[in-house]
């Protein structure tokens, strides 16, 4: 796990590899993604530098900055591999030579640790040290510039020839590598005369022939970007010792960074290339020769004179290849960073081939049970003996009320729960009105103004008593409780002080609002005089206050409301939504059971699939 | 000084309310003055909030930002309600009936939607979390309490069953009591911190 993490260059802590900013210190981790010299550098002020491509400019810039103490930070992999690399560098003659540029040494070091085609190139790049004099350096830069231009040209050419490409896919199917097709496409005359050497075509005087030869090289590299193997095939002949039989040696080397699929493809292409060896093998070195001739490389001292020239030429091309691969990787990383944070498309899950027809049967059965229950099962009968203690306490307090007693009825519920509360409160209000109790209506929400009218009409009380509105929420309740002298101007004028009421009947649908009354008003009143009718979901909130004596009695939900009504001698209110409540409850039960069944079925089918697999 | 004044006001208000609980007759006048100020300030804050809300939505409509249609509905509904209340009076039966005809179905639908969302969530729960102690206990307890909510088991009038039902119905009460005790302790501690100036919910 930690091997996949990246280390922040600023604070040294680990981060996930996909982040661009350190989660510990918040600083940019972009440098970790930076391929040396690709970004964040300024071009050299030299005249040649202005003509160079950006990547080379940045390489030079880094070379110039190398002696400075602040070196660009490296990735975790680099840090891990650094000792081995340093040892390799120290042992190699490149480091000892002062002419070797820093950027080139770094690229070679990176290529050496990556055992792909470019790494193979770099491992044989010793001859490059002799070549890299000042003049050669400029020549290489110039050559690389021309390479980049040719890359662009060939890209345009590819777009134009896309139709022709499509027709040649048939040839692909025959096993011919794509890079070879492109070479054939660019040089039909070479295709016809495969045994004819290509080095006779280009010459230093003829720019046309040069232009014809170099794109071939480019095309082989272009193919290498799309497929790893063609690149290896194209670069295979580079070793000096294997110049005569280039492909076999390169392909035999292990490719550690390739995935298994790529290795499979490689093996397939290798097999194809072996069948077509007479036509493919001489191509890559022959294609590279015009460029190397153009560069005018010096023969290597340690190598035999007849082979050293070829080795130098190839090593130059290898370095150019290295540069290109670095740039391609930078582009890949840029794309990765740009894609960071975007959601991955959901993985396609194949549908189970098993038909779960019994799900439908179970669903239909449950639906039938629901309908049958609603149609044939009678509503539950109420038995007064089963009334809980708090309902009996409520009934007893209500029955003690008589004529002349003052009762304040507080409507503190929302319209959504008005049906439930009205079914509970209407019989109680009828009982109070019959007893001749002096009662007043107080609402704490603006919607209470019309809810009070509805409640009074539901209870059949005429005329509708005056409705008082208490603004301010909890603050208003507090003010109402402490204002014994009626001195606060914002409070309803027709109300008495709370302590003057014999009972305060709260109609609540919210536990928190009920608590406001208990905490803001009850402490100032001293004597327990609160009666509560509350929605069933908040019954649990009221019970502790009832047990502590702050509430004299309460009823929660329609069933307890009906019990209260019966005990008071009133007819419980039959509401049309009683069945709807049952439908809702049964539907929820059905959904829960279905969820369990479908989950069990999914598990079973998964097990079956694993067993079959 | 800028920080000290709000702390001083908060501490004095808290201490005054606490003291008034003990010496109510002596401190009742002071408490009423403080309450008057609080009511006025709260009313002004409500007006400012209303103006800010309207301005924000009006700006959104003028600049035709994404979702401006909802802002348009809000502003129009506010203006119509305001005009109706101002002309007809907030206690006019027709006006109240008109408001009720909109608000009641809207709120009831919202609750129904919440029930549907919860049902869908319970469906997904088992598929996403699989069989665990949490999901199994949730499923069983939900089924049991839904069944109890129907009242059919209670209607059977079996004494042994009634004992079990009583035990089950006491479970949420016990849980709620524990919650209330926790809330009370938390409120007490928060009150102490505010009175001591350690907690400043009104901002720095």
User: A255 pLDDT exceeds 50?
Assistant: no
Domains defined for chain A, CATH in brackets: 42-320 (no CATH), 389-576 (3.40.50.720)
Helix (H, G, I), strand (E, B) or coil at A276: coil
What are the chain B neighbours of A414 within 8 Å (beta carbons)? 107
Task: Show residues of chain A in contact with B28, CB under 8 Å.
Answer: 482, 484-485
A594 contact residues in B (CB cutoff 8 A): 123
Is-cis flag, bond preceding A304, omega within 30? Answer: no
Region A6-20: what's the mean pLDDT?
78
Question: Which two structure tokens, joined as six digits, stand for A262?
Answer: 């790529």
CB contact under 8 A, B100 and A451: yes
State whether B175 and A540 contact (CB < 8 Å). yes
Q: Locate the chain A residue with the closest alpha carbon to B173.
A: A540
Asked if B150 and A586 come within 8 Å (Cβ–Cβ), the reply is yes
Q: How many other CB atoms are there within 10 angstroms of residue A290's CB atom? A: 24
B36: chain A residues, CB-CB within 8 Å: 488-490
- Neighbouring-strand partners of residue A83: none
In a 13 Å sphere around the CA of A146, the CA atoms on its Cβ side amount to: 17
**Residues sharing a CB contact under 8 Å with residue A458, sequence separation 6 or more, in sequence order:** A422, A426, A573
What is the full DSSP assignment across A5-34? -EE-TTT--EE-TT-SB-TTT--B-HHHHP
Mean pLDDT for all residues in chain A:
67
- Range from A529-533, A549-553, A573-577 carrying the lowest mean pLDDT: A573-577
Residue pair A246/A317 in contact (Cβ under 8 Å)? The answer is no
Give yes or no for residue A370 having a pLDDT over 50.
yes
What is the C-alpha to C-alpha distance for residues B151 and B145, in angstroms, rounded to an integer? 10
Continuous H helices in A193-227? 207-226
pLDDT of residue A286: 58
Q: Report chain A residues whose CB lies below 8 A from the CB of B16.
A: none
Interface touch B149/A453, C-beta < 8 Å: no
Residue A248 has pLDDT above 50, yes or no: no
B127/A380 CB distance under 8 A: no
Model confidence at B70, pLDDT cuts 50, 70, 90, reads very high
What does the alpha-carbon distance between residue A179 and residue A184 come to, in Å, rounded to a whole number?
Answer: 9
Q: Which of A540, A582, A603 sits opposite B176 (nearest CB)?
A: A540
Per the CB < 8 Å rule, is B100 touching A454?
yes
Chain B: closest CA distance from residue A541 (Å): 6
CA distance B98 to chain A (A): 10
Which of chain B's residues have a Cβ under 8 Å away from the Cβ of A474? Answer: none
Nearest to A289 by CA among A209, A184, A383: A209
Provide, as residue numbers in chain A, all residues whose Cβ is less than 8 Å from the Cβ of B108.
415-416
Task: Return the structure tokens found at B171.
Answer: 């479970």
Helix (H) or strand (E) holding A539: helix A539-547
Q: What is the least distance, in Å, from the CA of A542 to any CA of chain B?
A: 9
A237, A247 in Cβ contact below 8 A? Answer: yes
**Smallest CA–CA separation between B122 and chain A, in Å?**
7
| Nearest-neighbour CA in chain B from A376: distance (Å) | 13
Residues 6+ apart with CB under 8 A from A414: A445, A447, A509, A510, B107
Q: Which of A415, A491, A561 has the most B C-beta neighbours within 10 Å, making it the best mutation to test the interface with B?
A: A415
Q: Between chains, do B150 and A380 touch, taking CB under 8 Å as contact?
A: yes
Partner-chain contact B35 A593, CB within 8 Å: no
pLDDT tens track for A89-105: 444 444 444 566 777 77
Choose among A418, A483, A523: nearest Cβ to B104.
A418
Tokens 């840090």: give the residue: A79
Q: Give the residue from B34, B95, B180, B185 with the most A CB atoms within 10 Å of its CB, the best one to mutate.
A: B180
> Torsions phi, psi of B64, nearest 5?
50, 55
CA distance A27 to chain B (A): 29
Q: Across the interface, do A541 and B91 touch by the CB < 8 Å criterion?
A: no
Residue B129 has pLDDT above 70, yes or no: yes
Torsional sign, CA A118, A120, A121, A127: positive
Give the Cα separation of B194 and B17 in Å (integer): 13
Task: Kindly identify which residue of chain A lies nearest to residue B44, measuring between CA atoms.
Answer: A472
Higher per-residue confidence, A465 vs A399: A399
Burial class (CB in 10 A: 0-12, 13-18, 19+), B136: middle
pLDDT in tens, B23-45: 877 887 888 888 888 888 888 99
What global pTM score does this model have?
0.52
What is the mean pLDDT of the segment spanning B80-107?
85
The average pLDDT across A528-550 equals 86
A368's tokens: 């039938």
- 3-state DSSP call for residue B89? coil
B29, B33, B100, B174: best to mutate for the A interface, most A CBs within 10 A:
B100
A447–B35 C-beta distance less than 8 A: no
Give B-chain residues touching A450 at CB under 8 angstroms: 96-97, 99-100
Nearest alpha-carbon partner for A289 in A272, A271, A312:
A312
| Mutate which: A454, A548, A584, A588, vs B, most B CBs within 10 A | A588
Choice among A347-351, B8-12, B32-36 with the minimum mean pLDDT: A347-351
What are the tens digits of pLDDT across the range A206-244?
Answer: 333 343 344 444 444 444 444 444 444 444 444 433 433
Angle between helix axes B68-88 and B24-62 (nearest 10 degrees) is 130
pLDDT for B155 beyond 80: no
Q: Lowest mean pLDDT: which of A56-70, A527-541, B158-172?
A: A56-70
Is the pLDDT confidence value at A46 over 50?
no
If you measure CA to CA, which chain B residue comes closest to A524? Answer: B21
| Nearest of A499, A480, A498 to residue A489 by alpha carbon | A480
Instruction: Indicate the SS3 state at residue A262.
Output: helix
Angle at A212 between CA A210 and CA A214, to 5 degrees: 65
Q: Which three-class secondary structure state does DSSP give residue A496?
A: coil
* Residue of B28, B131, B150 to mutate for A, most A C-beta atoms under 10 A: B150
pLDDT of residue A123: 45
- Is B91 within 8 Å of A467 when comparing Cβ atoms? yes
pLDDT for A356 beyond 80: no
Q: Chain-centre distance of CA A128, in angstroms? A: 46
Q: Could you give the CA distance from residue B60 to residue B65 in angstroms, rounded to a whole number?
A: 5
Alpha helices, DSSP H, located in A53-132: 54-65, 76-91, 93-96, 102-113, 117-123, 128-131
Residue B58: band (very low, low, confident or very high) from pLDDT cuts 50, 70, 90 = very high
Per CB-CB distance under 8 Å, the chain A contacts of B143 are 589, 592-593
pLDDT at res. B49? 94
Considering only alpha carbons, which residue of chain B is nearest residue A383? B155
Beta carbons of A310 and A243 less than 8 angstroms apart: yes
For chain B, give the number of residues: 204
Contacts of B155 in chain A (CB under 8 A): 380-381
Percent of chain A at pLDDT > 90 equals 3
Q: For A522, name the nearest residue in chain B, comparing CA atoms only.
A: B21
Residue scoring higher pLDDT (A338 or A505): A505
- The pLDDT of residue A292: 57
**Between B24, B119, B131, which is nearest A588 by CB?**
B119
Burial-class residue A108 by CB neighbours within 10 Å (0-12, 13-18, 19+): buried
Q: Which of B21, B151, B155 lies closest to A523 in CB terms?
A: B21
pLDDT at B186 exceeding the cut of 90 = yes
**Which residue of B39, B104, B155 is in closest CB contact with A475?**
B39
State the Cα–Cα distance between residues B129 and A435, nearest whole angstrom. 57
Largest CA distance in chain B: 71
Report the range out of A145-154, A189-198, A304-313, A425-434 with the highest average pLDDT.
A425-434
**Sequence-ordered list of residues with C-beta below 8 angstroms from that of A316, at least 6 positions apart, any chain:** A128, A131, A140, A143, A291, A292, A295, A297
């Amino acid at each position: 796990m930690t091997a996949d993490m990246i280390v922040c260059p600023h604070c040294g802590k680990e981060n996930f590899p996909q982040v661009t900013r350190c989660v510990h210190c918040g600083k940019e981790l972009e440098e970790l993604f930076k391929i040396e010299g690709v970004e964040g550098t300024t071009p050299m002020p030299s005249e040649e530098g202005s003509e160079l491509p950006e990547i080379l400019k940045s390489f030079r810039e880094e070379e110039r900055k190398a002696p400075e103490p602040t070196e660009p930070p490296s990735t975790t992999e680099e840090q891990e591999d650094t000792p081995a690399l340093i040892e390799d560098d120290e042992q190699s003659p490149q480091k000892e030579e002062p002419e070797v540029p820093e950027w080139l040494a770094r690229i070679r070091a990176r290529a050496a640790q990556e055992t792909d085609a470019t790494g193979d190139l770099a491992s044989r790049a010793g001859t490059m040290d002799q070549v890299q004099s000042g003049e050669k350096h400029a020549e290489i830069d110039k050559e690389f510039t021309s390479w980049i231009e040719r890359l662009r040209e060939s890209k345009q050419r590819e777009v134009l020839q896309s139709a022709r490409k499509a027709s040649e896919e048939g040839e692909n199917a025959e096993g011919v590598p794509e890079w070879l097709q492109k070479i054939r496409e660019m040089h039909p005359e070479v295709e016809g005369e495969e045994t004819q050497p290509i080095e006779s075509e280009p010459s230093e005087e003829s720019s046309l022939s040069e232009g014809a030869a170099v794109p071939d090289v480019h095309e082989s590299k272009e193919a290498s970007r799309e497929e790893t193997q063609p690149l290896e095939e194209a670069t295979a002949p580079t070793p000096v010792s294997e110049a005569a039989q280039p492909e076999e040696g390169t392909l035999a080397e292990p490719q550690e960074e390739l995935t298994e699929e790529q290795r499979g493809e490689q093996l397939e292409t290798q097999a194809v290339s072996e069948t077509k060896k007479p036509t493919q093998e001489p191509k890559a070195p022959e294609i590279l020769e015009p460029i190397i001739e153009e560069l005018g490389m010096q023969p290597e001292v340690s190598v035999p004179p007849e082979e050293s020239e070829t080795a130098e030429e190839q090593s130059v091309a290898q370095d150019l290849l290295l540069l290109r691969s670095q740039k391609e990787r930078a582009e890949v990383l840029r794309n990765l960073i740009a894609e960071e944070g975007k959601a991955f498309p959901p993985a396609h899950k194949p549908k189970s081939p098993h038909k779960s027809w019994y799900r439908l049967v179970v669903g239909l059965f449950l639906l039938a049970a629901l309908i049958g229950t609603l149609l044939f099962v009678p509503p539950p009968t109420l038995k007064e003996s089963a009334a809980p203690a708090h309902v009996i306490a409520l009934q007893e307090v209500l029955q003690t009320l008589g004529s002349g007693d003052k009762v304040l009825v507080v409507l503190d519920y929302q319209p959504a729960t008005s049906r439930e509360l009205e079914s509970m409160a209407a019989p109680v209000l009828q009982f109070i009105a019959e007893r001749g109790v002096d009662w007043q209506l107080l609402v704490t929400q603006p919607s209470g103004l019309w809810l009070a009218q509805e409640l009074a009409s539901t209870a059949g009380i005429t005329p509708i008593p005056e409705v008082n509105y208490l603004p301010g929420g909890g603050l208003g309740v507090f003010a109402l409780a402490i204002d014994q002298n009626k001195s606060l101007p914002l409070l309803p004028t027709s109300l008495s002080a709370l302590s003057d009421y014999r009972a305060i009947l709260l109609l609540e649908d919210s536990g928190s609002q009920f608590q406001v009354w208990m905490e803001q008003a009850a402490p100032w009143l001293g004597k327990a005089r609160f009666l509560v009718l509350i929605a069933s979901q908040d019954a649990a909130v009221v019970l502790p206050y009832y047990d502590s004596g702050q509430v004299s009695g309460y009823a929660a939900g329609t069933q307890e409301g009906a019990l209260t009504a019966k005990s008071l001698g009133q007819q419980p209110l039959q509401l049309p939504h009683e069945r709807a409540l049952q439908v809702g409850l049964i539907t929820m039960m059905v959904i829960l059971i279905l969820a369990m069944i479908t989950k069990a079925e999914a598990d079973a089918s998964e097990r079956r699939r694993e067993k079959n697999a | 000084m800028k920080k000290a004044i709000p702390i001083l006001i908060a501490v004095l208000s808290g201490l005054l309310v606490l003291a008034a609980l003990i010496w109510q007759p002596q401190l009742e006048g002071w408490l009423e003055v403080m309450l008057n100020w609080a009511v006025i300030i709260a009313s002004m804050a409500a007006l400012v909030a209303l103006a800010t809300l309207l301005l924000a939505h009006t700006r959104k409509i003028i600049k035709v930002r994404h979702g401006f249609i909802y802002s348009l509905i809000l502003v129009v509904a506010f203006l119509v309600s305001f005009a109706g209340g101002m002309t007809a009076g907030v206690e006019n039966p027709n006006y109240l009936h008109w408001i009720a005809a909109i608000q009641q179905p809207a709120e009831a639908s919202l609750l129904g939607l919440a029930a549907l969302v919860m049902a869908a969530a319970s469906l997904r729960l088992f598929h996403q979390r699989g069989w665990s102690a949490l999901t199994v206990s949730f499923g069983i307890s939900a089924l049991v309490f839904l069944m109890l909510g129907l009242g059919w088991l209670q209607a059977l009038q079996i004494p042994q069953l009634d004992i079990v039902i009583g035990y089950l119905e006491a479970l949420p009460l016990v849980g709620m009591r524990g919650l209330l005790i926790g809330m009370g302790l938390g409120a007490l501690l928060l009150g102490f911190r505010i009175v001591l100036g350690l907690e400043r919910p009104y901002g720095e």
